Each structure stands twice: as structure tokens, then as C-alpha cells.
Amino acid sequence: MIVQKAIRGVGGITKAKADDAFRFGILCNWWNKVSTMPEIEVYQRLTERNLYWHQNRYNDPDPQEGGEDFYKHSPFISTTAGSIERDPSAGLNILHPAWLVALEFATDGWTRDAYLFYCYLFVIGKRSVPHRPFSEELRELNVYTGFSAFQPEGEIAAKINIPPTQIEKYAFYPIAGIRQDLASGRIPAPAQEVLNQITYRSPEEVSNIRDFLS
């Protein structure tokens, strides 16, 4: 098992909603839609098909959900750990930093304020779609070998919710500040960073695995 640090970009929310993540965690869109999550359906939704749609057909109408866009019912949560894209013709590796991928996603193409949530997830180096505690490292081409145009986004797909104990902080980026920084050739800087001093627990506390006694 690997403790993987990642960033979740979110736009269109209030500061109060961002603060709620330190108490309730970050919920998938399906849970937000149904309010009270039917636990019995969790493992019916954690499927290879839904993971594929989450990565590649996120905004498409889903026939299994009455034609509503898939993302409204997704049991997965997109985060990014960044990625390296190789350009063989130029002989170059192109870095896609996690913070930049998350910021562009959260601002919806530089059009709105954004919050970046810094968290950690658990990955195991193989597919584990039905197993809720483990996230899917969609950026890993040795595991997810099928082609995806979105692979350079460096996605780590969490499942159902990211617990508040795994969220270290959030950074707030107002769109006006982002545009000013970009126009001046500066790296966008957050206007505010807020540490989770309520529920966060360092991963060092849980990174060792011990078998049961027998």
C-alpha cells in the first residue's frame, strides 16, 4: 500500500462549504445528489464501467441514469497527483504539475474562483475498483493500459468520500487574482490557505500494516 498525496480542485462553492470538508470530508457527486446515501448501492456503483465513464465520458448523458449527465451520479472523486507526458518526437518529458491541473479544473478554464484541497489517498499498485478504501491510480499506464485522452491529468480517483482526517488544508484562489498573476507572467498564488486543525491526522500514523493475530 502507498500513501499518495493528491489535490482535489473544486469551484463554485462558498468558504463555508470549503470549511465543511474539515468536518464531513469530500463527498462524491452521487452522495451529494441522494443526500442520504444508500449503502447497499455502493458496490453496485463501484464498477469498471463507471470508472471508465468517470474518466472518459464524465459529461455525457448516461442511459443507466435516465439520460442525465454521468458526473451527477459518479461514485468517484477526481483528484490529481500530477503526471509526466512523454513527447517522443521532441525527445521531451512534459510535466503536468498537480496544483496546475487541479486549478485549471476548479476554475473551469479560468472562469471562476477555486479551492484546492490537499489530501492523501491509499493506492495499492493494481486495480481495486470494488474496494472502497483504495483509490484508482488512473495516471499509471502500467495499471490502466487502455488509451485515455485525459491520462496526462494525473488522476487518482477516490471512491465515495475522502474522509476529513485525510484532508490537510485548502487554498483559495480568487479568479481576479489568478488573472492578474497570469497577465503579469507570475505563477498564480492563493489568497488564503487554511489548515485543517480540527480533524486532520498525519498519514505517518497509519502507514504501517500489521496482520491479524492467529
- What SS3 string covers 8-60? EEEECCCHHHHHHHHHHCEECHHHHHHCCCCHHHHHHHCCHHHHHHHHHCCCC
Domain assignment present for 19: yes
Q: What is the pLDDT of residue 8?
A: 98
Distance between CA atoms of 196 and 211, rounded to whole angstroms? 31
Domain assignment present for 84: yes
Q: The CATH number of the domain where 50 resides is what?
A: 3.90.210
Domain assignment present for 112: yes
The three cell numbers of residue 31 are 452522495
Find cell 486495480 and name the residue.
127
Domain assignment present for 214: no
Domain assignment present for 210: no
Distance between CA atoms of 113 and 122, rounded to whole angstroms? 29
Q: What is the pLDDT of residue 115?
A: 98
Distance between CA atoms of 133 and 123, rounded to whole angstroms? 9
The model carries a pTM of 0.94
Query: Which segments in the chain show pLDDT lower than 50?
Result: none
Residues 6+ apart with CB under 8 A from 211: none
Pairing type for strands 136-137 and 114-123 reads unpaired
Distance between CA atoms of 196 and 164, rounded to whole angstroms? 8
Q: What is the pLDDT of residue 36?
A: 82
Q: What is the pLDDT of residue 161?
A: 97
The three cell numbers of residue 7 are 489535490
What kind and span of H or E run contains 178? helix 175-183
Question: Rounded to the nearest 5°, which phi and psi values hold at 157?
Answer: -95, 110
Nearest to 163 by CA among 108, 195, 117: 117
Domain assignment present for 212: no
Number of domains into which the chain is organized: 1
Domain assignment present for 142: yes
Predicted confidence (pLDDT) per residue in 81-117, tens digit: 999 998 899 999 999 999 999 999 999 999 999 999 9
Distance between CA atoms of 13 and 61, rounded to whole angstroms? 24
Q: What is the pLDDT of residue 166?
A: 97
Range of the domain at 71: 2-205
Domain assignment present for 211: no
Distance between CA atoms of 25 and 164, rounded to whole angstroms? 4
